[in-house]
Structures are given as C-alpha cells and as structure tokens.
Amino acid sequence: MTADIFRPPPRQNQGVTAEVPSTAKAPIRRIAHLDMDAFYASVELLRYPQLKGLPVVIGGGRRRQDDVLDQGADLPVASFPRLKDYTGRGVITTATYAARKFGVGSAMGLMKAAKLAPDAILLPVDFDEVRRYSRSFKETIAEIAPLMEDRGVDEVYIDFTGVPGGQREGGRVLARLIQKSIFGKTGLTCSIGVAPNKLLAKMASEFNKPDGISIIHTEDLQDKIWPLPCRKINGIGPKAEEKLHRLHLHTIGDMASQTREWLIDNFGKSYGAWMHEAAWGRDDRPVVTESEPVSMSRETTFDRDLHAVRDKAELGEIFTWLSTKVADDLQRKGYVGKTIGIKLRYDNFKSVTRDVTIDHFTADAKVIRLHAGQCLKRVPLDKRLRLLGVRVGTLARLEDLAPDQLKPGKGVAAKSRSADSAPVMDQLF
C-alpha cells in the first residue's frame, strides 16, 4: 500500500484552484512519550543499591514499619523478604527487568508471582518517596519543554514541536538532553519515543527500554510499525488480538490492509473505526497541559478471560488494585470525587458501565472499592470478563471544599467501616 500514511488520500476530480504559496513552513509535529523505567522498583533501588541487577518485586500494599527493613538501607541481600514467603491477596505494582524475565509483571497476584519467581525480593510500595521522585522528574522536564501532559506517576507526553532543538535529528537531541537532566537530578533512567503523534510516540518509547530513545518519522510506518504484532498498539488487548488472529491478522500491517468497513463489521462501529485509524498511524490528540479532569479511572485488560465466580479471588485482587491506583491518582493530584463507577468488557467485546453518586467527596481507596463493588450487583456477571475498570467522577479540588463536604452520612460511614470484613460473596469479588 502506498499513500500519505498520516492523512487520507486527496479527493479526485476536483477543480484546480490557485493557492498563494506560504513563505513560512509550519514545523513538523513532534510528540514525545516519556516513560520512567520500572519506576517504583527503580526508586527502591536508589535506597537499596545492593539490589541492583536482582529480581525485585514491588507490591503488597503501602510501606509500613517493618522489623527487617527498619534496620537501615545497608541490609545484606540475604536479609530481604522473599516473594515465596508472602501470604495474602496483594498484587504487583511493578518489577525490575531482572524479575520480569521470570514472567512476573504489573497487576499479577503476588501468590501467583511467587510460583514463577519464588526467590525474588519483595518490597512494599513507598508512595511518599515515589511521589517525591515523580514531582522531581516532571519539574526537570518542564524546565526544558513546558508543554507537557501528565499521564500518571511515571509517564508524560511532551510536545517537542516548537521547543528549541525539538526538531533536530527528529527530536533525538532534545530527548537526550531530557534523559541526562533527569538522571542528573534523580539518578533514574527513562525511555523516550518521539513521533508525529501520541499513538506512535507511546509505541516508540517501548522499543529500546531501558534508558533508550526511539525516533519514528512519517515515512517509517511501513518499515517500523506495520511488522509489529497488533497488540503493540495501546488499546488492543489479548482478547482483541486473539480475535484478530482468528481472522488471520497478526501484524499491524495486516490490520492496515483491511478496509475501515471490514474492521467495523467485525469489531463494532467505534472500536473498528479506531483500529483502522491506529493501524495507519493516525492520531490527532493534542498534548493537554492544564485541563481540569472530568474523572479519573484505571482499567486493565486480562491476559485471559476471567469468570466472576471461578476466578473470584484473582478478580478481587485486581479490583482492589484498581481502586487503590485510582485513589492514589486522586490524592497525588489533589482531587476528590463523589461519583464512583465500574466498566466491564465481556468476552464478546460488549462493554457495560455503572456508577453511583454518594453523599460526600472522597479519595479513599476503601470507600471507592466499596461503592464500585456495589455497582457490580447491577450488571450481569454470567459471561467471562476481559476488562475491568474503576472510575471516580464529579471531581473537585480538595483545597476548594469545606470540611463538611468530605464527611459521609451515617449509612455510608457504617458501610465503609465494614468494607474489609464483608464476605467476599457479598462484594461479588
């Protein structure tokens, strides 16, 4: 296929009209996606440099006073807690690259991970330290390239287009400067992808991890993007990939070879149309710097379809993890919300959402999980699930609210207190 790969082909049989030639050529759009390398784990390795190069898993909850870890940062490696000794329903927040070689990764249950990497070192999450380093690396970026979109604790989009040096070597010069500046200030590494849009920049940031820079130009689509597996597109999960494989589509180029109408017929109007645009590398989303969020959410697509009854324990761990991540996002950005909801996608690709508005604003993980769990009672759970999400809306800045707007009514408070002790079946999962 030959075409202008980021724009639709020109219309045919149009009359010729005179155009005044432009004397100032607009700069080529260059968008960067920066992703900190194994961020939570890397922050801990700054504290415990003796663990560098070893399989380390971060998860299991917040950092608490621990008899072992409280002894100091110069602990011998043999003294650290091991994954095989963990008992509970916690999930992995992140893992070092050495641990990932064993097949463990984010959102995986710690008990399952212990079977894959029993001797991996297990450390709890230190959210205060993570937030401190998150602020630090973002402040460093803002001093160099101020048009930045915050996408979470460890990743951002940056508009290089009009920044001095942003066009040199396709953005590589500016990306290298940002990498060196972040490492000099924090001791942490990051990977950066630079491309004409967000979609391709995010894909490119994964090409040379860790501590890598990858550049994608418009003309690179067929050589660098189309040979990749379909799932490399952010938004195509394992179940969509499985269906694509059944339809004999294995690469992004295979997707691009299909018509928009064919993809819509097989994947639905919205998702199919998006798949066609994504396969052709089209994405017009701007880098948004200072917008007020309407809601905050976290969702995950499972490696395999899960059943609400047979996989209740695993779903419960993931549900708790998602609720905690949303609460962390709210607290880190200074927001609270009062509309709590869920999103499910079934194995037939149908999606359903439900939400409830409570009588007070919150950013508390237990409250979010409690009311999100109640929303589950309003959806059918007879089909297997491929995606689960938790959302908090009707947001307000914490600093703008009066204290009584954060206080629940008696009924809500009572439910919140009993959330941990409620039977699993009552909470569904």
DSSP 185-211: HHS--EEEEEESSHHHHHHHTTTT-SS
Q: Using the structure block, give the residue that is written with the tokens 């339809």.
A: 247
CA 130 vs CA 146, 168, 331: distances in Å: 22, 32, 13
Distances (CA, A) of 143 to 165, 169, 185, 194: 14, 21, 12, 19
Which residues neighbour 91 within 8 Å (Cβ) at sequence distance 6 or greater? 59, 107, 108, 109, 110, 317, 318, 320, 321
Is 155 annotated in the active site? yes
Query: Alpha-carbon distance 245 to 230, whole Å?
Result: 9
**If you count DSSP H runs as helices and E runs as strands, how many of each does the chain have, helices first?**
13, 12
Strands in 201-275 per DSSP E = 213-215
Q: What is the DSSP string of 144-183?
A: H---EEE-SSSEEEEE-TTSTTTTGGGGHHHHHHHHHHHH
8 Å CB contact between 353 and 301: no
Q: What tokens were used for 107? A: 């959102």
**With contact defined as beta carbons under 8 Å apart, do 355 and 341 qualify?**
yes
Q: Which of 155, 241, 314, 317 is catalytic?
A: 155
Half-sphere exposure in the Cβ direction for 44 (13 Å, CA): 26
The catalytic residues are: 155
